[in-house]
Amino acid sequence: MNSILSTQNLVKRFGKTTAVNGLSFEVEQGSVYGLVGPNGAGKTTLIKLLMNIHTPDFGIANVLGTEAHHLSQRELAQIGYVSENQDLPDWMTVEYLLEYLKPFYPSWDDARSRELMDLFHLPAGRKLKHLSRGMRMKAALASSLAYKPRLLVLDEPFSGLDPLVREELIEGLIESAQETTILVSSHDLAEIESFATHIGFMDDGRLQFSEDMVALTQRFREVEVTLDAPPTLPGPWPGHWLRPETSAAVVRFVETRFDQERTFGEVRTLFRGITGISANPMPLRAIFVTLARSSRKVA
């Protein structure tokens, strides 16, 4: 795999709190990698380690083939970074901001800059301080996409934005995905699901899994077993079956390693009096909630 981002045993502590705990992962070049997880999972800290805003206590973070703390102007000119609380010079107009940034990026594309202005409906002559939050985010994203970066890092870009603004931001990202590798951290799971190619789930400073979106959605199913009598959960309960529920003559659970032949075979082995078995695909949000609740029970 040709990775554009990677970490090895990365650790970052703040006092007695370990925000990132022995984390190792890779982001493949050309992918759109969605980093998800509950509040306090360590997603923003991980991104700041990758961007050399924080220094790790242990481990290595590599960006564009270079250790993060050795990033030079050459590498930085190929990276776009947009965060939820992006600081922008309020006194500048949108047009002035883009003109101001242009000399810092050798690959700046004037035609692309104009396209982004049109795509995001940005008012060229309006000062940034007079823009709505959504417009400010679009201005920040336009300023990062205009030089066609090899890597674009987004930290909660959709938070608090109305659906139309989110849709316009995603449209801009999809247009750029062919030439730019994207790492996006977000709680807006429906939006992530619509364009991410890979997903990483963080919790308690650790990466619980990292995989291709198609593989992830194929292995998670909500299974419903209908019986001819009120059910009793068998023991021992398989560890890869999560969130078991019973009602009347029905058992429901989430299968995390779904294979129809194997899964249905296990169900028939563990239950008697089966009258029906169904397995339904799950959206990313439902997968996320299942994993988050299960990890809390274990903790």
Instruction: List, for residues 15-27, the tens digit of each pLDDT value.
Output: 999 999 999 999 9
pLDDT-wise least confident of 60-64, 260-264, 288-292: 288-292
154 and 29 in one domain? yes
234 and 193 in one domain? no
Q: Give how far Cα 150 sits from Cα of 81, 93, 119, 212, 292, Å.
A: 11, 26, 21, 20, 32
**Burial of residue 39, with CB atoms counted within 10 A of its CB: 0-12 exposed, 13-18 middle, 19 or more buried:** exposed
Strand partners, 202: 207
Task: Quote the number of domains for the chain.
Answer: 2
DSSP H or E run through 213: helix 213-219
192 and 144 in one domain? yes
Instruction: List, for residues 175-186, the tens digit of each pLDDT value.
Output: 887 789 999 998
CATH number at residue 180: 3.40.50.300
Mapping DSSP to helix (H, G, I), strand (E, B) and coil, where does residue 159 land? coil
**What does the block give as tokens for 147?**
């030089």
Domain assignment present for 290: no
11 and 153 in one domain? yes
252 and 186 in one domain? no
Q: What is the DSSP letter of 295?
A: H
Is the predicted pLDDT of residue 162 greater than 90, yes or no? no
Domain boundary among 153, 188, 211: 211
| Axis-axis angle for helices 163-176, 133-145 (nearest 10) | 0
Is the predicted pLDDT of residue 297 greater than 70, yes or no? no
Q: What residue spans of 221-283 are helical by DSSP H?
A: 260-270
Q: What is the pLDDT of residue 38?
A: 82
Domain assignment present for 294: no
239 and 203 in one domain? no
Domain assignment present for 178: yes
Q: Which of 259, 260, 254 is nearest to 286 (CA)?
A: 254
Is the predicted pLDDT of residue 108 greater than 50, yes or no? yes
Q: What is the pLDDT of residue 153?
A: 95
Domain assignment present for 120: yes
Strand partners, 251: 225, 246
- Average pLDDT of the residues in 284-298: 77
* Structural domain boundaries, residue 207: 3-211
DSSP H or E run through 4: strand 3-14
Is the predicted pLDDT of residue 295 greater than 70, yes or no? no
Instruction: List, for residues 232-254, the tens digit of each pLDDT value.
Output: 888 889 999 999 999 889 999 99
131 and 69 in one domain? yes
- Average pLDDT of the residues in 4-15: 95
